């Protein structure tokens, strides 16, 4: 009885602490530190986003969770298990969708899925019925006997995600799931992922597409150069760093100096510059009257603030400083 | 106090080394390769049949009629069983060379597999067993051809078929160990040019090594194919001797060592 209570307590503690827990996680390659002491936790049932520019350490983090890259330092636990101690058990509850399609080009759609079910030691009958289910869900049933070379990029991506779901994973790990897809294919993938999220599948996804993060993620962390520089709920981060509205000032061939001079007269007005565009983040109504610079710029765009503003603001200098 | 100074980096690497962890899941990797083969066998079948067939016709029956061996043996009896050895070396080596490299590198198949409960060691093992399987298929085709051309004198030759599994594993493991450190698909060319091709021609398959300077025989003794040729030739003639046990032992030891090296190199390649 006490044992049972203890076990239950353990389960609920796990849920509170998170299904993935990283504490002071470090990954070094020789002298290069790819992941520099990051801590985060992913809760069961949520979609958690790992955002950052290229080379920030997103994929390295994902690879450590997938148990294919040894942890240099710190703690990394998946569903209570240490990735170094129980790689097989961890991999059994993960569904992995890699950044680059690594489907078998010489197998058909169905054969690809079948080979994958074997890696999980699934019983044949269960495997076959799950393959059918997944093919229907991802609208690939009619293409099941096609070889991979005749599929479009979007179909291959859907198949890669379908493959990741065959073992009914507790956590779906997606590394840039829509990179390189056209808008239609991207929206279809998003719709499928939202469907999975509503079914309670925990998702961890990396992306540098802010639209994607905003569409899918409950919580995000932003990584830059191996460190976490911000974390939270997308809306809250937008409010915190960008407010609600943005004025984009396209300078074109105009000189930036007089415009900046005018803007600087406004105390506490938040302005960021990337290449030939100025981003103005007015906090309050009447903070700034755009008419005053209208004559000195190419054009101005008024829009809602979004996650990309946050991202550029927090990581932009890192990119520009290279 | 240690007698041999091991460099620090090497010691650190060796310190973390663990024995191969292999379960029956290795066979899932083999099954994956089989599925691919069954889809593409039409294009895969032609080389392993035509190449030995042409060689047998040209050298065994053509050139062979002009060859007089000191032992008085017919040339087809001499070269036929040896071709089983060197061509099955080619098949295993090519499968775990170009074949495995493509799966590892451009197709990303190994990365896909190790993201599942299958381990790197099981991928390596599955690949080696698959390479050995392909080489057994080669042994079968060539054995049929050599038999038809009259190069087999004893039913003992049937033993070649099950025994060929061991050299198959050896050739595959050696090739896979190189594949694991190859930087590009073209760097495999060095392996084939400096290791496979010389071995093919100079391991005593086509002429007795006693015809060449003495050091060639010494070098040949260290090449895997040399021992395989000797065993197959003895079995085809129905005349195995105690010395062939040494050849057998040589093959078993090298197969085991090559397998361990392949496992170690593949871990280093895939787990980063």
- pLDDT mean over B215-239: 94
Question: Chain A interface, mutation test: which of B12, B116, B130, most A Cβ atoms within 10 Å?
Answer: B116
ipTM: 0.90
Per-residue DSSP letters for B62-104?
Answer: IGGGG---TT---HHHHHHHHHHHHHHHHHHHHIIIIIHHHHH
pLDDT band at B60 (very low <50, low <70, confident <90, very high): confident
Instruction: Note whether B39 contacts A121, CB cutoff 8 Å.
Output: no
Residue A35 has pLDDT above 90, yes or no: yes
> A81-91 pLDDT, tens per residue?
999 999 999 99
Instruction: Note whether B108 contacts A98, CB cutoff 8 Å.
Output: yes
Residue A170 has pLDDT above 80, yes or no: yes
- Chain B hits for A98, Cβ within 8 Å: 108, 111-112, 115
Instruction: Note whether B115 contacts A115, CB cutoff 8 Å.
Output: no
Calculate the alpha carbon distances from A181 to A156, A189, A291 in Å.
Answer: 10, 9, 40
**Which of A209, A207, A208, A170 lies closest to A91 in space, CA to CA?**
A170
User: Which neighbouring-strand residues pair with A82?
Assistant: A77
Higher pLDDT, A184 or B174: B174
Interface residues of B toward A, Cβ cutoff 8 Å, are 25, 28, 31-32, 35-36, 39-40, 107-109, 111-119, 270-272
Question: Chain A interface, mutation test: which of B112, B121, B267, most A Cβ atoms within 10 Å?
Answer: B112
3-state SS assignment for residue A172? strand
CA B199 to chain centre: 11
Residue B100 has pLDDT above 80, yes or no: yes
Sheet order of strands, A202-207 included = A94-97, A171-175, A202-207, A47-51, A219-224, A227-232
H/E element, A304: strand A299-304
Which pLDDT belongs to residue A273? Answer: 83
A51/chain B closest Cα distance in angstroms:
22
* Strand A47-51 versus strand A73-78 pairing type: unpaired
Which pLDDT belongs to residue A258? Answer: 84
Out of B25, B39, B115, the one facing A66 most closely (by C-beta) is: B115
Cβ proximity of B120 and B262 under 8 Å: no
Out of A66, A102, A167, the one facing B107 most closely (by C-beta) is: A102
Cα separation, B250 vs B223, whole angstroms: 10
Instruction: Note whether A107 contacts B35, CB cutoff 8 Å.
Output: yes
- Chain A hits for B36, Cβ within 8 Å: 104, 106-107
Which pLDDT belongs to residue A296? Answer: 83
Instruction: Note whether B108 contacts A105, CB cutoff 8 Å.
Output: no
- Chain B hits for A174, Cβ within 8 Å: none
Question: Chain B interface, mutation test: which of A104, A160, A171, A204, most B Cβ atoms within 10 Å?
Answer: A104
Cα separation, B70 vs A245, whole angstroms: 96
- Chain B hits for A156, Cβ within 8 Å: none
B71/chain A closest Cα distance in angstroms:
50
Instruction: Note whether A115 contacts B118, CB cutoff 8 Å.
Output: no
Residue of chain A nearest B22, judged by CA positions:
A88
> A194-215 pLDDT, tens per residue?
998 998 899 999 988 888 998 8
B97/chain A closest Cα distance in angstroms:
18
- pLDDT mean over A289-310: 85
Cα separation, B19 vs B21, whole angstroms: 6
């Amino acid at each position: 009885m006490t044992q049972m209570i203890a076990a239950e307590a353990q389960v609920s503690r796990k849920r509170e602490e998170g299904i993935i827990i990283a504490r002071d996680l470090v990954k070094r390659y020789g002298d290069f530190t790819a992941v520099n002491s990051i801590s985060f936790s992913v809760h069961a049932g949520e979609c958690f986003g790992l955002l950052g520019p290229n080379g920030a350490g997103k994929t390295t983090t994902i690879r450590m969770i997938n148990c294919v890259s040894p942890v240099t330092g710190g703690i990394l636990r998946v569903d209570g298990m240490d990735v170094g101690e129980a790689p097989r058990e961890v991999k059994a509850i993960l569904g992995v969708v890699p950044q680059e399609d690594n489907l078998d080009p010489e197998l058909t759609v169905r054969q690809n899925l079948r080979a994958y079910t074997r890696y999980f030691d699934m019983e044949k009958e269960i495997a076959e019925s799950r393959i059918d289910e997944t093919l229907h869900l991802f609208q690939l049933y009619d293409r099941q006997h096609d070889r991979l070379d005749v599929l479009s990029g979007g179909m291959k991506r859907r198949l890669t995600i379908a493959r990741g779901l065959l073992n009914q994973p507790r956590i779906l790990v997606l590394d840039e799931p829509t990179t390189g897809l056209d808008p239609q294919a991207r929206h279809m993938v998003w719709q499928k992922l939202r469907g999975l999220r509503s079914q309670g599948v925990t998702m961890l996804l990396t992306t540098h597409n802010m639209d994607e993060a905003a569409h899918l993620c409950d919580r995000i962390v932003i990584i830059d150069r191996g460190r976490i520089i911000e974390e939270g709920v997308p809306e809250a981060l937008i409010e915190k760093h960008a407010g609600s509205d943005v004025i984009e000032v396209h300078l074109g061939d105009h000189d930036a100096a007089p415009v900046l001079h005018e803007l600087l007269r406004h105390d506490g007005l938040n302005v960021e510059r990337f290449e030939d565009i100025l981003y103005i983040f007015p906090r309050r109504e009447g903070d700034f009257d755009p008419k005053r610079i209208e004559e000195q710029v190419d054009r101005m765009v008024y829009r809602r603030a979004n996650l990309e503003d946050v991202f550029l603001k927090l990581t932009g200098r890192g990119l520009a400083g290279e | 106090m240690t007698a041999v100074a091991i460099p620090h980096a090497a010691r650190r690497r060796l310190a973390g080394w663990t024995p191969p962890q292999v379960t029956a899941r290795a066979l899932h990797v083999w099954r994956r390769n089989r599925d691919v083969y069954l889809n593409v066998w039409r294009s895969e079948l032609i080389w392993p049949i035509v190449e030995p067939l042409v060689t047998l016709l040209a050298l065994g029956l053509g050139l062979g009629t002009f060859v007089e061996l000191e032992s008085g043996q017919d040339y087809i009896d001499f070269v036929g069983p040896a071709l089983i050895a060197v061509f099955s070396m080619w098949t295993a080596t090519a499968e775990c060379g170009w074949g495995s490299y493509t799966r590892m590198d451009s197709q990303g198949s190994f990365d896909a597999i190790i993201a599942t409960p299958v381990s790197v060691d099981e991928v390596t093992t599955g690949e080696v067993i698959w390479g050995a399987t392909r080489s057994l298929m080669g042994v079968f085709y060539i054995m049929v051809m050599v038999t038809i051309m009259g190069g087999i004198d004893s039913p003992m030759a049937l033993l070649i078929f099950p025994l060929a599994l061991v050299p198959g594993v050896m050739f595959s493991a050696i090739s896979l160990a190189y594949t694991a450190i190859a930087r590009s698909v073209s760097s495999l060319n060095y392996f084939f040019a400096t290791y496979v091709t010389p071995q093919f021609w100079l391991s005593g398959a086509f002429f007795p090594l006693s015809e060449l300077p003495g050091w060639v025989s010494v070098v040949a003794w260290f090449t895997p194919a040399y021992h395989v040729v000797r065993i197959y030739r003895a079995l085809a003639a129905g005349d195995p001797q105690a010395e062939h046990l040494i050849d057998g032992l040589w093959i078993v030891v090298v197969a085991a060592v090559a397998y361990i090296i392949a496992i170690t190199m593949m871990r280093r390649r895939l787990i980063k």
